[in-house]
Amino acid sequence: MRSKLPKVLQSLAGRPLLAHVLDTAKALKPEQIVVVYGYGGKQVREYFADRELNWVEQAQQLGTGHAVQQAIPSVDANHTVVIMSGDVPLVRLETVRNLASAAGDQNLALLTVDAEDAAGYGRIVRGGAGEVLAIVEEPDATVDQRKIKEINTGLLACPARLLGPWLDALKAKNVQGEYYLTDIVSSAVAAGVGVNAVSVKSETEVMGINDKLQLAQAERACQARIADELMLSGVTLADPQRIDVRGQLKCDSDVFIDANVWFEGTVKLGRGVIVGPNCVIRDTTVAASTTIHANSLLDSASVGKNCSVGPYARLRPGTEMAEQSRVGNFVEVKKSTIGKGSKINHLSYIGDTDIGADVNVGAGTITCNYDGVNKQRTVIGDNAFIGSGVELVAPVEIGAGATIGAGSTISKDAPANKLTIERAQQATAPSWQRPTKKKD
């Protein structure tokens, strides 16, 4: 990967490759999940420290068979083992279930695919009746065997009581000098154990990731799969090829998402939500019938029903908008609550503020919430009217129904239902003339 970050921690759709594999494994509801680790193991273990996993180190990388040899002592002999790869993240849960079912408690099951270009992969060698006889790795394959298109994906399932002895019998007698897991196929055939091949139609589902080019290809494939799932659930996408979901996106019915929208973390969109183009929405909940206009950024916010956000708005962490409230163009809100029906329509900064219901905040209003050391709060009561170009110097409270005259700097509490104005006296200098440049 040409990276200091271990391969299985490289990001796919906002999560490490290994996270995708572990989530699929967990969905099988197994007795245990054993992770065999090698390079970068400390980083990998630290990242997944909150998961219930059994970790086994492969101190020397001596092949796939050697890797499974490290894990098998911790597995109950009466269980069926499903072997997955940490760099094959797109395999579907249904596929893995079929693989486990094909193994049962008596058979060896392999996951295979017909590849357009099989170069570099182990070939599935079959007999005259179509039975699987062996898997031959490319360096050890004959000219005729290299013409075979059906390849091994690396995923298999097998009863542990059979797998253990076969692993013990592995030999590193091959071009690579490694212990191949695939050699257990020959052992199964020799023992008269059924070898069932479960084939997948799409190479993309079982693609392994070994460089940044393949990682990018997997990202597009993953995003296409997410887009398909969204549309099948009733979401309208303006352009399915221009949406990125880097986390979890849950949508109710009749949601519309325009082009070039990014979702990160956990995002929930209620019924009838409209998201305009070029928006970034992260760890945010948006309630029904709300519109997020173009080029807006929402981060760790909560937006109520029938709201309007943007265009070019920024909701920072801790923003809570009640139903029917509005945040307009070039407005930034941070760690603030905006009451029902309140409006901040133009060119304003609201930080550490509690705004009541039906408040109008005029263009160019800012809350001066930071004194250089601490953040202070501003409180604005219901039905207050804040004129344009106002500075509210926190801590300060604006009473319910109060009106603040345009251009005021308010540093003391303003009483309810009164007009409060703070302005320097306007003066005109009659004899003043605009300076002019001197002629050469």
Longest CA–CA span in the chain (Å) reads 111
The per-residue b/e assignment along 41-72, b for 16 or more CB within 10 angstroms, e otherwise, is beebeebbeeeebeebebeeebbbbbbbbbbb
Length of the chain: 440
330 CB-near residues (< 8 Å, 6+ apart): 312, 313, 346, 347
Annotated active-site residue 293? The verdict is: no
CB 383 within 8 Å of CB 400: yes
Joined tokens for residue 154: 């690396």
Helices (H) and strands (E) in the chain, counts: 7, 38
Tell me the sheet residues that pair with 262: 244, 280
CB 405 within 8 Å of CB 424: no
Tell me the sheet residues that pair with 359: none
The phi and psi torsions of 124 (rounded to 5 degrees) equal: -90, 115
CB 257 within 8 Å of CB 239: no
Q: Which of 20, 79, 293, 346 is catalytic?
A: 346
Measured distance CA(309)–CA(294) in Å, rounded:
9
Of 409, 355, 362, the C-alpha closest to 383 is: 355
Joined tokens for residue 135: 């898997």
Residue type for 398, please?
A: I
- The residues that are catalytic are 346
